[in-house]
Structure 1
């Protein structure tokens, strides 16, 4: 029997507000444990929360960017459960009236487009962080993250394989970064997801029993977790077992998941409106005010890059996947560089250097103007292509103007024919066999002679000029 996988995601994104959702404590990552908290975010008796308006602004912005309807009269609810990293034993979230609902996001996998429904986007407070003793003798808790504002993006169960789920995660991350509501740094826990997954025989309309894997914090781990859980459920069903509705923990180091607890239903949380917070009333004017702040989004930018700049679809997808990379590309073009040439450098050497140095596009240490200058130096014949790679490497290490680097390292290309003729003639004199091969019709021999001249010039000679001189001398 063949089976179909059904996947829905709950994506949690920490918002980039300066202060927490209900108090004035900083949301800055890091800091000494339990120093970014106060009686409000640690839930001390008698304190009163006050909603940060910027949190609602960001939620509306995320909703508009994902084609959602905005709920104009909403509220916040208490989600009750005991957990050590939520000291008041409930989380302020939203139940039946989320800020956003009924949206969608378009993804593309293997050239095929698909629309994934967004059920809801609601606001809530984050919990603290448990630090478990490695010897198993106890746990400590850091409340710095308590009260950091989150949006939770809940999708419809529209994905049928891990590749589609990964494409959705990448698309959502890109959108959230473009609209500047979250930095989406997964290594800092700013973006993480819960995976709801079930299997069913192909052709069956009813969903199978789903499991949930909590707080997966990398795309790679999410794909591995989904692949494992799909295989586990199919093997369980095939052997006559029953899939339990439960919450599981994914251990990426061991590439296995473990059952944590039975999966709660909504009624288990005993939701009720938070009595300390007033309703959220969102006017048409407020929505339009937020709408005006939404920039060109990745999908629209991708189409424009193909149509306006003539970039290949693949190049446009990679460049627009990062807001910073797209901005860097456009600034290079604005400074006069050819769009396709910029794209070639970004897709090739720049991406390689980012990978080698294990840094993100946001950490490129030089401005786009310097990249444009480097391209101009090549096009003017001031430096060779190989020298340009050395200059780019130095730009990462020294963050200097490429013109300064070229002068300091003596990388100026020799393009003066009169200065190269003597050098070329000596190469011809030293390699009579190659000269004879060329005259006998072996065109490839000239490539060897070009290489020998470049070696003699220590890489500084202009290859095009060398080719011209060689052909003139050989054909004379």
Structure 2
């Protein structure tokens, strides 16, 4: 049986967070009543003329610069012709032959192996509307709010070889978009969605197999599962002596399977031609240079700085730098922290804050914990005022209320007792109450230390400093 490898290329659509649409002044706000954000231009009324949103051009160029693309001095808008109820003009304004950005690269790493994924092009295009099907009313409706919302289509070369690499590429691309501040990357609302072209071939072959396109995958998990299923499906077909048909397929997450949607179209099927209502986009070299100078620190640069400045392990630095909001929270917390071990702050974010957000379906913006409060919590631990157990006990309340940790532990009477004189009497009392255990400990049963620790913690309601107690017990038990 031959060994196979998969060949994967991705087409990503990222909605730009401009205030107005690509060719008109209508709002791009998500969640408005159906057909609220609509005018004669985006609804395709006869005789109207589009006017290009300059901010969309700037955002597209900045993504190109951030991914090593060449920003073209001249790009052209074209009409992509097809009929669908959510496309009122009967065509979509896009780019193909002369896109705004070309020939970039994005590096990803999976299981310690680095892969450079070439970006064929980044093009500006308008979104279509949304069809809404109501089984209860036995009717279909069209919402044009999304029509002409500005998108960037980022088309990769078929350089990916596994579903894991595809997900890593998507996460890296989304992270760059967020760092640039040009898209919110919200997959649930459709601001960041992906089509995957998947084929297989025998290992060592240079020829591509027949590809299938998987449409509108709206979560990283579904991207991975859909690609994995499609790879297995194509291998099964070939091994059964059948052929893979070139087609567009949809992924059903409930059945974890892909299903035929339609035959795969080629570019010529859409009859692309330059849009006669839009002049070419001309960008001067000095404008491109100015946009280059405005680029923020990018995820890969921040990762390197976290490794260098904070001496974090690679996996922790990667996790903290991957999301802009998390990276900014971490840096603000470290700046507020008076200690000299930034990794302690990192550990609380990775081990406690992020799981808390995930378990409660929250984002950082929903959480009331401030960087100053997190820094204060770590400082209380550094000083021995509270134990890790108490820190974790109050952590959910800090996230829900934004309370000052020092005031909170004082108000609740949770300040740890570290005074040797105050604890010595409790230690003596526990030893006197348990003479048999004390004798057994002295006879070599050192595991009884946890027994004595538990008794002391019970008497002090968990407020005794474990380090001080251990030192006193070792001294008095010998």
Kept in 1, the 8 Å contact 2:130–2:142? The answer is: yes
- The CA deviation string for residues 26-55 of structure 1, in whole angstroms up to 9 with x for no partner, is 111101111122111111111111111110
1:43-82 matches, cutoff 5 A: 43-82=44-83
| Aligned twin of 1:327 | 328
Following superposition, the deviation at residue 387 of structure 1 comes to 0.9
Kept in 2, the 8 Å contact 1:93–1:123? The answer is: yes
Structure 1 distance, partners of 2:70, 2:465, is 60
Structure 1 distance, partners of 2:319, 2:172, is 12
Do structure 1's residue 109 and structure 2's residue 110 form an aligned pair?
A: yes
Kept in 1, the 8 Å contact 2:79–2:274? The answer is: yes
Structure 1 distance, partners of 2:124, 2:137, is 34
| Aligned twin of 1:357 | 360
Following superposition, the deviation at residue 191 of structure 1 comes to 0.6
TM-score of the aligned structures, taking structure 2 as reference length: 0.96
TM-score of the aligned structures, taking structure 1 as reference length: 0.97
SS in 2 for 1:114: strand
Following superposition, the deviation at residue 321 of structure 1 comes to 1.1
| Aligned twin of 2:408 | 405
Following superposition, the deviation at residue 456 of structure 1 comes to 1.1
Structure 2 distance, partners of 1:218, 1:125, is 22
Structure 2 distance, partners of 1:24, 1:156, is 35
Structure 2 distance, partners of 1:115, 1:190, is 25
| Aligned twin of 2:398 | 395
Task: Tell me which of 333, 341, 344 is aligned to 2:344.
Answer: 341
Structure 1 distance, partners of 2:281, 2:186, is 29
| Aligned twin of 2:153 | 152
Following superposition, the deviation at residue 135 of structure 1 comes to 5.7
SS in 2 for 1:258: strand
SS in 1 for 2:36: coil
Following superposition, the deviation at residue 249 of structure 1 comes to 1.3
1:179-328 matches, cutoff 5 A: 179-328=180-329
Do structure 1's residue 430 and structure 2's residue 433 form an aligned pair?
A: yes
SS in 1 for 2:269: helix
- Single out whichever of 183-192 and 132-141 deviates more from structure 2: 132-141
Structure 1 distance, partners of 2:454, 2:424, is 15
Kept in 1, the 8 Å contact 2:82–2:90? The answer is: yes
Following superposition, the deviation at residue 443 of structure 1 comes to 2.8
| Aligned twin of 2:472 | 469
| Aligned twin of 1:92 | 93
Structure 2 distance, partners of 1:242, 1:448, is 69
Kept in 1, the 8 Å contact 2:431–2:438? The answer is: yes
Number of residue-to-residue matches in the alignment: 475
Structure 2 CA distance for partners of 1:134 and 1:433, relative to 1, 3 Å: farther
Structure 2 distance, partners of 1:153, 1:297, is 18
Do structure 1's residue 366 and structure 2's residue 369 form an aligned pair?
A: yes
Following superposition, the deviation at residue 265 of structure 1 comes to 0.9
Do structure 1's residue 415 and structure 2's residue 418 form an aligned pair?
A: yes
Kept in 2, the 8 Å contact 1:247–1:261? The answer is: yes
Kept in 2, the 8 Å contact 1:394–1:405? The answer is: no
Following superposition, the deviation at residue 404 of structure 1 comes to 2.6
Question: Which ranges in structure 2 are unaligned for 5 or more consecutive residues?
Answer: none
Structure 2 distance, partners of 1:438, 1:287, is 75
Question: Which ranges in structure 1 are unaligned for 5 or more consecutive residues?
Answer: none
Moved over 4 A (4+): none
- The CA deviation string for residues 118-143 of structure 1, in whole angstroms up to 9 with x for no partner, is 00000111111111123693311111
Kept in 1, the 8 Å contact 2:83–2:90? The answer is: yes
Structure 1 distance, partners of 2:71, 2:436, is 79
Structure 2 distance, partners of 1:401, 1:48, is 57
Kept in 1, the 8 Å contact 2:79–2:91? The answer is: yes
SS in 2 for 1:166: helix
- Single out whichever of 428-437 and 218-227 deviates more from structure 2: 428-437
Structure 2 distance, partners of 1:253, 1:100, is 37
Cα RMSD after superposing both structures: 1.4
Kept in 2, the 8 Å contact 1:434–1:446? The answer is: no
SS in 2 for 1:387: helix
Following superposition, the deviation at residue 241 of structure 1 comes to 1.8
SS in 2 for 1:444: helix
Following superposition, the deviation at residue 66 of structure 1 comes to 0.7
